[in-house]
Amino acid sequence: MIDNDTKRLSRLTAILTQLQTRRTLTATELAKKFLVSTRTIYRDIRALEQAGVPVLTEEGKGYRLMEGYRVPPVMFTEKQANALILAEQLVLKNKDTSFVNDYIEAVEKVKAVLGYNVKDKAMLLAERTRFELNVKSAKSSNNLSDLQLALTNFLVIKIEYINEAGSISDRFIEPFALVSTTENWLLIAWCRLRTEFRYFRIDRIRKLDILDEKFNPHQMTLQQYFDKYY
């Protein structure tokens, strides 16, 4: 009996963490994650409600927490949250399954304390970051954090860029995604000068200014971009 109570308390805590990490979760999703029946999840949700946790039910969508409800042991800036997402993507390349699982659980707890606005931006960044190969000898750059910030806030960037031939040009670009290769970080962005998507090596960005101007988000995922252009 004690063991069952301990398991349930652990599951209730984990469900609360999941609800803080994501906007909406269905009973089916929670049941699958915790290997229990949906009936058990219904009872768990009632238990959380009885404990004073403001769980809201959205008909046809699932459960979510009332906006603003969280217990933040520490607050993160948007750039710090972005850094955590980037680190998560790197860890996912690790071959040690136990290490990866432990890290994912730790990051989920960190995400749980983020406000919805920062959380949504962090999730967008995770979707728009791709590691084709492990980074082993990446070129030096001081722009990655600013690029992440501009990407998730849909802010136009003005850059001074030097191409492979050594020519320097000023570009106004709309950042879309970040991709790593064996040696470089690449920014995929809509180039207003060329009126098309272009790759920019971030170690070749000599100067970067984030402008106050917002652009309309490009309505496609990173995978849809690859499917369309490659």
Tens-digit pLDDT profile for residues 203-221: 899 999 999 999 999 999 9
Per-residue pLDDT at 2 exceeds 50: no
pLDDT above 90 for 5: no
Q: What is the per-residue pLDDT for 50?
A: 84
The most confident of 102-106, 110-114, 186-190, 226-230, by mean pLDDT = 186-190
Are the CB atoms for 158 and 172 separated by under 8 Å? Answer: yes
pLDDT recorded at residue 116:
65
Give the pLDDT of residue 135. 46
**pLDDT band, very low/low/confident/very high, at 132 (cuts 50, 70, 90):** low
- What does the pLDDT look like over 39-95, one tens digit per residue? 999 999 988 888 778 888 888 789 988 876 765 555 567 777 777 777 777 666 655
Question: How many angstroms separate the Cα of 57 from the Cα of each of 71, 73, 95?
Answer: 20, 26, 39
**pTM of this prediction exceeds 0.85:** no
pLDDT at 195: 95
**pLDDT above 80: residue 106:** no
- Per-residue pLDDT reduced to its tens digit, 143-183: 888 898 899 999 999 999 999 899 999 999 999 999 887 77
**Residue 215: other Cβ atoms inside 10 A:** 18
Contacts of 3 (CB under 8 A, 6+ apart): none
What's the number of CA atoms in the CB half-sphere (13 Å) around residue 157? Answer: 29
HSE-CB at 121 with a 13 A cutoff on CA atoms is: 22
What is the reported pLDDT for 147?
92
Task: Measure the CA–CA gap between 19 and 228, rounded to whole angstroms.
Answer: 34
Q: Which residue has the tokens 């991709």?
A: 179
Confidence of residue 134 (pLDDT cuts 50, 70, 90): very low
User: Are residues 211 and 171 in contact, defined by beta-carbon separation less than 8 angstroms?
Assistant: no
